[in-house]
Amino acid sequence: MNWKEIITECRDVQSADEVNLICGDQLNENHSWYADGPNPGRLYLLMEIRSETDYARHHIQKVVAFFGAMRLFAKRLKDLGHRVHYIALDDEENQQSFAANVSFVLNRSGALRFSWQQPDEYRLDEALNSLAADCEKKGVDTECADTEHFYTRRMDLAEFFKGKKTYRLENFYRSMRAKHHILMDTEGNPEGGQWNFDANNRQKLPKDHVIPPPKLYHRDVTFLQNLVHTAGVDTVGNLDLEGWGWPLTREEGLNLLEYFVDVLLPHFGDYQDALTRQSWSVYHSRLSFVMNTKLLSPAEVNHAVELAWRSHPESVSISQAEGFIRQILGWREYMRGIYWAHMPDYATLNFFEHKRPLPDWFWTGETKMACLAHAVGQTMQHAYAHHIQRLMVTGNFALLAGIDPDEVDRWYLGVYIDALEWVEITNTRGMSQFADGGIVGSKPYTSSAQYIKKMGPYCKGCHYIPNAKIGKDACPFNALYWHFHVRNRTKLERNPRIGMAYRTWDKMAPEKQQALLETAEMNLDRIEEL
């Protein structure tokens, strides 16, 4: 793949009537912008800019994946006959921000109209609104279009819960199922007789169970890696030695969807929460990147999964299909709605007032805690960890240890291939760190070593002893679990879902309580050496 040549034909600043901006996560070729075919007066504009590479310290695979997908999308539009101007990271004319580059192209092409699609991130929304205001002042008409990607509009969730004290996923999810007729019978009841099959899912992997390998794409992306490094962009991680793993075109995304439905979906729900060393993605779809860049739509992914269940119920049970569709129709839309209902304040919430810096080993995986070494090591190698690794291993540790949510957010926003603020911050600050005080979820997700020991193989052979609670060799999760609950008692004890933890604590002998708290303090003091 010649990544330079691919965009050589996408240099077009001849005169145009209008300039349409396409952001890196707006690669939806089915958007109505393209429906009437090529328009000689309309110029599509894509750009690789430092304001996007530098707002977090990103994984190299993430930057490469975005640039690769954008270049291939530009070529696709060009092949379809559209006019495209692509500004590469190292182009001399590149002024490295949306505002400066758009103004330059408007001036050069003489266009009197600027259009863009509604961005998913607050910071971009602000930037593009202010750019549009500048355009209007200069006599350029502006228009913002919907991305035509999500099931809901930005403020639909806020509207849905108007007047309610709390948001909860389940009510919203049921209404979405009914509204969009997904997994519903002809009488309007949920297929299978219930809305949610969570209780059937979440098993531990049986011994000797062989997981199918993740589907890889084996593209040579070293040119893009060099482009990013030569420009001096500060990244983490490396390219994957196993081969390039991420679909970068709609065709490849559809191919990954097909692989998921045929090979992985039959066990998706069963092993959704399983932790293992055998596979880095288990039965998860890895479709988040192609959906978050809009190469695939959530509706077509859900449709493929529902169809698989309807046509092959003997291999795809309702609990696998429902478990998967709930993530996309439910959680993904729910998180986006919460983001728009609560930004910009959401980004500053710190319910527990946590202030500890993130340990350096979050960037290297060099820790004696086997579960964390594996989750972080895998993240650096693949720019991916599945939900339970993110929530119950890295997120759980950060929460128990009282890490500043700003630092936790910066880490998650950088290291994952699918990390975009609207879905990263609501999962990290909300679901994982409970820094929103209960907007996303009704209680913090915390656990001692017991959960990690039950769901995966790490504790066997770990430097620390999973069943020990006190002393320097005891698993740090155990004492930190109690330390977290004791230091946040006034904020949590009235929560009916947590009361049990306090009742257990209160029954403990004072010497044991003292020893647990001292062990936790010792671990916090030596957090970099754990």
Of the candidate residues 87, 176, 475, 492, the single one contacting ligand SF4 (CB under 6 A)? 475
* Nearest distance from C-beta of residue 173 to ligand FAD, angstroms: 12
SS3 144: strand
Considering only 431, 459, 474, 520, the residue that binds ligand FAD (CB under 6 A) is: 431
Residue 378 found at the interface with ligand FAD (CB under 6 A): no
- CA 275, CA 266: separation in Å to the nearest integer? 18
CA distance 474 to 496: 29
- Please tell me whether residue 429 binds ligand SF4 under the rule CB under 6 A: no
In the shown chain, the binding pattern of residues 337 to 376 toward ligand SF4, with x for contact by CB under 6 A and - for none, equals --------------------------------xxx-----
Q: Site for ligand SF4 (CB under 6 A): how many residues?
A: 13
Where helices occur in 80-121 by DSSP H, the ranges are 98-109
d(Cα 305, Cα 307) in Å, to the nearest integer? 5
Among 196, 427, 448, 523, binds ligand FAD (CB under 6 A): 427
Among 156, 322, 424, 436, binds ligand FAD (CB under 6 A): 424
Task: Check binding of 56 to ligand SF4 (CB under 6 A).
Answer: no
Q: Residue 254: is it exposed, middle or buried by C-beta count within 10 angstroms (0-12/13-18/19+)?
A: middle
Of the candidates 391, 401, 407, the one whose C-alpha atom is nearest the C-alpha of residue 367 is 401
Q: Which is nearer to ligand FAD, 254 or 465 (CB)?
A: 254
448 is an interface residue for ligand FAD by CB under 6 A: no
Bridge partners, residue 45, by sequence: 21, 85
The binder of 240, among ligand SF4, ligand FAD, none, by C-beta within 5 to 8 A per type, is: none
**Residue 455: DSSP 8-state:** H
Rule CB under 6 A: is residue 480 a binding residue for ligand FAD? Answer: no
CB of 515 to ligand FAD, least distance (A): 31
Residue 423 interacting partner from ligand FAD, ligand SF4, none (CB closer than 5 to 8 Å by kind):
ligand FAD
Q: Does 115 bind ligand FAD (CB under 6 A)?
A: no
> Cα 275 vs. chain centroid, distance in angstroms?
19
Strands 141-145 and 113-117: parallel
Judged by CB under 6 A, does residue 391 bind ligand FAD? yes
Which residues 6+ apart lie within 8 Å of 481 measured at CB? Answer: 400, 446, 447, 448
Q: Which of 477, 481, 482, 484 binds ligand SF4 (CB under 6 A)?
A: 477
Letters for 289-318 (x = contact with ligand FAD by CB under 6 A, - = none) are --xx--------------------------
Binding of ligand SF4 at residue 458 (CB under 6 A)?
yes
Under the binding rule (CB under 6 A), the answer on residue 409 touching ligand FAD is no
> Which of helix, strand or coil describes residue 383?
coil
Residue 204 in tokens: 């531990």
224 sits near ligand SF4 (criterion: CB under 6 A): no
Contact between 327 and 320 under an 8 Å Cβ cutoff? The reply is no
Q: 3-class DSSP state for residue 184?
A: strand
Q: Is 497 helix (H, G, I), strand (E, B) or coil?
A: coil
Q: What's the helix, strand, coil split of the chain in %, to 5?
A: 50, 5, 45
C-beta of 358 vs 468, nearer to ligand FAD: 358
Give the angle 451-452-456 at the CA atoms, nearest 5°: 120
Site residues (vs ligand FAD, CB under 6 A): 284-288, 291-292, 327-328, 331-332, 335, 386-387, 390-391, 395, 412, 416, 418-419, 423-424, 427-428, 431-432
Residues that bind ligand SF4 (CB under 6 A): 369-371, 449, 452-453, 458-459, 462, 464, 466, 475, 477
